Amino acid sequence: MSNFFNTGLTQQQFLDEFWQKKPLLIRQAFADFETPISPEELAGLACEPEIESRLIEERGQEGKAWQVSCGPLSDDDFARLPETHWTLLVQDVDKHLPELQYLLDPFRFIPDWRRDDLMISYAPEFGTVGPHTDGYDVFLLQAMGARRWQIGDQPIHEAKLIDGLELQILAEFKPDQSWDLQPGDLLYLPPNFAHHGVALNDCMTFSVGFRAATQVEVLDAVVNNLLEQQLGKVRYSDSNLLLSAHGSEVDEHAVERLKKMLHQAIDNAEPILTQTLGKVATETKPSLLSLASEYMTGAISKEELERLFSQGEELHRNHYLRFAWSENNGCGQLYMAGQAYEVDKQAVGYLTLFTEQTTLTPKDWKQIKLSESAVNLLAKLIEEGGWFWQDT
């Protein structure tokens, strides 16, 4: 799809002009949209112990401002709520309800490994989570009712927050623009742009958020990979040492040598940087670990695969796990749930099949079984829960 939500922009023009640069409001990006999930169904998800959810009350119990209750919620929690000024949020709805995956299709021109989840919120009139910033990109689709969004025109990198709250709410917020969104309207916000959404009536908002690892998270992963590969063993050196008047001083020359040493470690580790990024990008959120692990099975043989596929069975990809792949010099690596799997030249042509398709059919199996390496890789992915049979 080259046209970006019928805006007259191509997808590449959107990336060039707006992605991580400035907000964009698109009226009727999803024309005649009707929410595929009701507020009652969303509340039901929030009552499930394995599903991450939050209830945010602007005026909480005993007069507490901005009270946050984490799920699982109960019928009593909902029964005591006032008619206004509260919000329910449920994370990873695209994984808990795979039938809603189609809502993500228009955003797949952005790498899948960058996308985090589909979060759905419900709020009665005046429901809000307060003015705030996010450290990631987000598309906000109005799904039901109306919500007023106020936004700032410039990113805030060092936001001043209200002290003593569980939520990160801006202490000061001066909006530059205000828009009322109706069902089907879509608002894109880059990282660090202040925004404040308030429900004008009973409303639901679908948020498609994108992952963004911090420097510390990436550096930690790089160090772990260096240790695994037994790299980065060059010691600090100072062959250009100058006479110092103070024996205890760590001077600017020492700092420059340290910076050079660290840069060299990164440069020498370039072959594992792709692997590092693949692992970081596919790590499973802690809240999903137990659900993801339910699909793990014992070892499976090629003969068993042949038998099941010959019976018309299909494999389904585990929506709770994240996948990515890379290729270099004819070989490749498949990344799943923070792990890297080596892929030889025989199987590299199956990387997109194993990471991007949602089902593997008997027709796919006819191609897969032509490569012993591809069969072994698929068997390993099944064993570790990446793919499963429907009756698992």
Residue 145 is predicted with a pLDDT of: 98
The tokens for 152 are 């700032």
Burial readout 16-50 (b: 16 or more C-beta within 10 A, e: otherwise): eebbeeebbbbeebbeebebebebebbbebbeeee
Calpha distance 392→389 (Å, rounded): 5
Residue 124 is predicted with a pLDDT of: 98
The tokens for 84 are 């206004």
Q: In this structure, which CATH number among 3.30.590.10, 2.60.120.650, 2.102.10.10, 3.40.1440.60 belongs to the domain 11-210?
A: 2.60.120.650
The tokens for 45 are 């998800």
Render 117-145 in DSSP notation, one character per residue: EEEEEEE-TT----SB--SS-EEEEEEES
Where does residue 216 fall: left (phi above 0), alpha (psi -120 to 50 degrees), or beta otherwise?
Answer: alpha
Where does residue 359 fall: left (phi above 0), alpha (psi -120 to 50 degrees), or beta otherwise?
Answer: beta
Residue 269 is predicted with a pLDDT of: 81
The DSSP element (H or E) to which 345 belongs, if any, is none
Single pTM value for the model? 0.92
Q: Is the peptide bond before 36 cis (omega within 30 degrees of 0)?
A: no
Burial readout 302-329 (b: 16 or more C-beta within 10 A, e: otherwise): eeebeebbeeebbbbbbbbbbbbbbeee
Residue 379 is predicted with a pLDDT of: 97
Whether residue 95 contacts residue 75, with contact meaning beta carbons closer than 8 Å, is answered with: no
Calpha distance 79→218 (Å, rounded): 44
Which regions of the chain carry the CATH code 3.40.366.30? Answer: 286-389
Per-residue pLDDT of the chain (392 residues; tens, 9 = 90+): 468 998 999 999 999 999 999 999 999 999 999 999 999 999 999 999 999 999 999 987 767 889 999 999 999 999 999 999 999 999 999 999 999 999 999 999 999 999 999 999 999 999 999 999 999 999 999 999 999 999 999 999 998 999 989 899 999 999 999 999 999 999 999 999 999 999 999 999 999 999 989 999 999 999 998 998 888 889 999 999 988 889 899 999 999 999 999 999 888 887 789 999 999 999 999 999 999 999 999 899 999 999 999 999 999 999 999 999 999 888 999 999 999 999 999 999 999 999 999 999 999 999 999 999 999 999 999 999 999 998 75
Which regions of the chain carry the CATH code 2.60.120.650? Answer: 11-210
Residue 268 is predicted with a pLDDT of: 83
Contacts of residue 242, defined as CB under 8 A and 6 or more positions apart, other chains included, come to: 253
Residue 142 is predicted with a pLDDT of: 98
Matching residue, tokens 């990471």: 355
- Do strands 331-336 and 339-343 pair parallel, antiparallel, or not at all (unpaired)? antiparallel
Name which CATH class applies to 286-389.
alpha beta
